Chains A and B, each alone.
Chain A
Amino acid sequence: MGELRLLLVDDEVEFLEPMKARLERRGLACATATSGDDALRLLGSERFDCAVVDVKMPGMDGLELLRRMRRTWPETAVVLLTGHASVELGVQGMELGAFEYLLKPVELDDLLDTVRRAAAGARRD
């Protein structure tokens, strides 16, 4: 299957860095972005199997990033991860084609499991 390439997008650096470290310890290759624009730049130069995207970010929010990703990089699965339990955001996210909508805090095993399934689905498509 090869190494799984993951992009983590979150404006909270305190969340981003420890998460990256934990995921890498489990054998994933992780890149991080602290904004939607940042993420788009990375996506333009590298291929990712899956992106884990925070919904609430200043500037371009997670849903807007998702919208653009589905258009330009449909092969990269998007998992939304948010601290706000919102029906409206969840519905929008799923309708826009998110692979999954997860609430923070998320168990590392659950996130890993979701990311692996998302990547597997995306690779086959």
Chain B
Amino acid sequence: MLGRKRPGKGDTAAQRATFRLMYERFREVLSLNDSTLELIADIEEKLLGHRPFALDAVEAGVRRAAMDIFVMVKDLNQLARNRHVGLYEALRALNAELEGLFGPPGAVEGPLVIPISTLRAQDAAIAGSKMANLGEVAGKCGLIAPPGFAITTAAVVRFLAAGELWERCERLEGVLELDGPEALPAACDEVRAAILAAPVPEDVAAAIRDAYAQCFPGSATLVAVRSSAVGEDSLSSSHAGLYDTELNVEHDRLLDAYRSVVASAFSATAVAYRFEKGLTAREALMAVGCVGMVVPRCAGIMYSRPPDDPEADAVVISTTPGLAARLAAGDENAEEIVAVPGAEVYAPSALLGPDELRRLVNVARCLEEHFGRPQDVEWAIDFEGRLTVLQSRPMVTIRVETSPAVDLFAGRDILLEGGFTACPGVGSGPVVTVDGEAALARFPEGGVLVAKHSSPSFAQVMWRCAAIVTDVGSPTGHMASLAREFGVPAVVGLDGATAALRPGQFVTVDATGRRIVEGALLTRAGGRTVKSPLADSPAVERLRAVARLVTPLRLTDPASPEFSPAGCRSLHDITRFVHEKVYEVMFHYGDVASEDRHHSARLDARLPLIIRVFDVGGGIVEEKSAARTVRPEDVTSVPMKAFLEGMLEPRIRWDLPRPVSMRGFLSVLGESMAGPPAEVRQVGRLSYAILSDRYVNFSTKAGYHFSTVDTYCGQSQNKNYIHFRFHGGAADVDRRERRVRCLSTILQALDFEVAVKGDLLTARLDKYTHDATRARLVDLGRLTMCARQLDMLMDDDSRPDFFAAAFLASEWEKF
């Protein structure tokens, strides 16, 4: 496999193909990584519950991402000689858990039908809350409920399993989200027509017939067939009037009525309602009630408390002669009575006597007590004076709107505007500029974190920041993802923020509107945003269960022992791991190149290095693609040109005698006698550049240090990066560490994120624009030349700062 064997001599095409393949795999991993991070950002945004979304579409996205991640894991293992096979197991486990959450609901355990007389509250999951409550009414409250039975969700799952009906139902929300409301009615009509035409499975049909025969001996009784969906009648979403009820259904029309009620769950109105409420198709899993028709003298609805004043001790009753169906629909004038328990005289009523009113009030209180909250009750009284409870559900009280929609920013001076919303919301506090780990450690509670670039390390202080603003960064980056997890309002990529905002200055960040104003804004939750309307909706809850396996990032520190395949607890962790490791592989890309000197071109430049270039696509002008030597002007690779421009800086006089101190020289000699590492001698003084039009992997082993630059510089900012690694040297440890310190100071000043461990330095610059990345590569080219024998100049602890200052002041002659 890749790089496993050294190809035989003369195998030019094969060698070139190996580089190209490695490069393509590497680019593939990076691009799949990007699309996965976009999905993660999308899920996190949806979890905030600001906007309704179609769960089905997110699930499809997660499935695609899992497959992409499989390809990433495979690519990495193929590049890294199966060094990370443990990732397969980590991915398999996560994928199995995810698959368990997706797709059509599994076969529901339980009977297909249940008589009302034996239904209890705990049956709500399969009989729907409406029917389960009715069972409670009859069985526990000692009240009268009509005879009948529930056709459970176990039955509807069986029914919809045929002919992919369920999948078609579930896709309707996606139609609404992706194709818009205009497309919905036609799609719904199609699905409903399919349901109405579908055969009811024989076992379900038989169960319905048997239950009818038991509840209503002789097949003459007319029944009402009504919806009792699983998520219906909940406190926050009443579904009032959304689903159909079929009245006066004759025995031989039972199955038609059943199909019709099931289909009513997929009307355009019902789908749009669920979508807006954050409910999913699973909340439309329809249990159906078949109850005997009552022939009432009068019927009605009552609220066990006044809806606009739920604390008051009163029952609000509305009644009408005959059936109350039209009353519920709102097209019948009714008598309205407010009955106060205990009062001797109730408001006069033409339909209800004082005794009947008293009984109704008692029923209302009894149900309220039983269910533990105010109830909305449907009832009927027949000609014998028998009071039947047709339905009891939690009452929806009127919510008082407390957040006036005013523009809090009106009339204020906007300090800065632009960038990208990483996490919406508003936060205010004093500006705290963060330029390294130390600043994070000191970060005060309630500060507005302002930094040049975004970094996952900010997670340490997110619980105490009011907002985050960065000059550079992407809304799909790790930090953005963490900000959403913590709910910290954050704007990234707001150019000039660090320059414009003074530490200590009090500002308000409107991350949603991407603007910053001076001063504080009074918002309720201490500068943070309030919970959004869909925050606890079933769609968000279900997505949260999925997201738990997708978005959390646990692997933040590559140096920690947790940073391993076994430590991966989410798809995000796996991509993070692969992303980190694939760069590690590319740092050794040059090693593969060094195994073969025959099939590269020599770069003929005035430099004290022998550079061999391998073009994997568009890095060298066409005419020279087969040449043995190429000149700098033949290089078409954007990042390589920039890097070379820096290396060829005429003011760096590597050709003149250098001011090397005797101590430095002796130190080098001393280390050399102790012996440089064997691999240094072996590798010699060659440098390798693997190029494409927008990519370079440049590794130098000249002198006694190793350095690698791996970079991509193109027009799409999110893909641009420079990764730089430097270590080794022939001088003593002190000098090497001083050199690393000097480089670190310079690179930090050039906006790199730098990590140092002993004499190993790694620096990264991610997601800068094409021009900024290019400019940094020129700097890095100069630095590479200046750093060559810098260790010899590092006589004492003042030298690192001295030379860093010289470099940054463009005094390259000093090196």
Query: Which residue numbers of A lie inside 8 Å of B, CB to CB?
Result: 85-88, 90-92, 94-95, 99, 101, 113, 117, 120-121, 124
Contact = CB atoms under 8 A, between A and B. Distances in A.
Given A87-B92, A120-B14, A94 B77 contact: yes
A94 B74 contact: yes
A121 B5 contact: yes
Nearest to A118: B1
B413 to A, nearest CB: 53
Contacts of A94: 74, 77, 88
B1 A85 contact: no
Nearest to A99: B1
Contacts of B66: 87
Contacts of B21: 117
A94 B66 CA distance: 15
B72 to A, nearest CB: 12
B131 interface: no
A116 to B, nearest CB: 9
Highest count of chain A CB atoms <10 Å: which of B1, B14, B99: B1
B67 A87 contact: yes
Contact of A88 (B4, B5, B95): B95
Q: Is the interface of B mostly helix, strand, loop or mixed?
A: helix
Of the four ranges (under 10, 10 to 19, 20 to 34, 35 or more), the interface on chain B belongs to: 20 to 34
B70 A87 contact: yes
B678 interface: no
A91 B14 contact: no
A25 B70 CA distance: 33
Contact of B88 (A95, A117, A121): A95
Contacts of A87: 66-67, 69-70, 91-92, 95
Given A121-B1, A124-B5, 12 more contacts: A87-B67, A88-B92, A88-B96, A90-B67, A91-B91, A91-B95, A94-B74, A95-B85, A117-B1, A117-B17, A121-B4, A121-B5
A85 B67 contact: yes
A91 B92 contact: yes
B5 A101 contact: no
24 contacts: A87-B66, A87-B67, A87-B70, A87-B91, A87-B92, A88-B92, A88-B96, A91-B91, A91-B92, A91-B95, A92-B92, A94-B74, A94-B77, A94-B88, A95-B85, A95-B88, A99-B1, A101-B74, A113-B17, A117-B1, A120-B14, A121-B1, A121-B4, A124-B4
Contacts of B14: 120
Interface of B: 1, 4-5, 14, 17, 21, 66-67, 69-70, 74, 77, 85, 88-89, 91-92, 95-96, 99
Q: Is the interface of A mostly helix, strand, loop or mixed?
A: helix
B49 to A, nearest CB: 29
A90 B1 contact: no
Contacts, number: 40
Sorted nearest first, the 4 A-B pairs with minimum C-beta distance are: A87-B95, A91-B92, A91-B88, A90-B70
A85 B1 CA distance: 23
B51 to A, nearest CB: 29
Contacts of A117: 1, 17, 21
A117 B7 CA distance: 12
A100 B213 CA distance: 61
B571 to A, nearest CB: 10
A113 B2 CA distance: 13
A88 to B, nearest CB: 6
A94 B84 CA distance: 12
A117 to B, nearest CB: 8
A86 B4 CA distance: 28
A121 B82 CA distance: 15
Given A95-B85, A95-B88, A90 B5 contact: no
Highest count of chain B CB atoms <10 Å: which of A85, A87, A117, A121: A87
Contacts of A90: 67, 70, 74
B112 to A, nearest CB: 32
A120 B7 CA distance: 10
A86 B71 CA distance: 11
B376 to A, nearest CB: 47
Nearest to A77: B1
A61 to B, nearest CB: 17
A121 B3 CA distance: 10
Nearest to B87: A91
A85 B88 CA distance: 16
A85 to B, nearest CB: 5
A85 B92 CA distance: 14
A124 B4 CA distance: 10
B87 to A, nearest CB: 9
Contacts of A91: 70, 88-89, 91-92, 95
Contacts of B1: 99, 117, 121
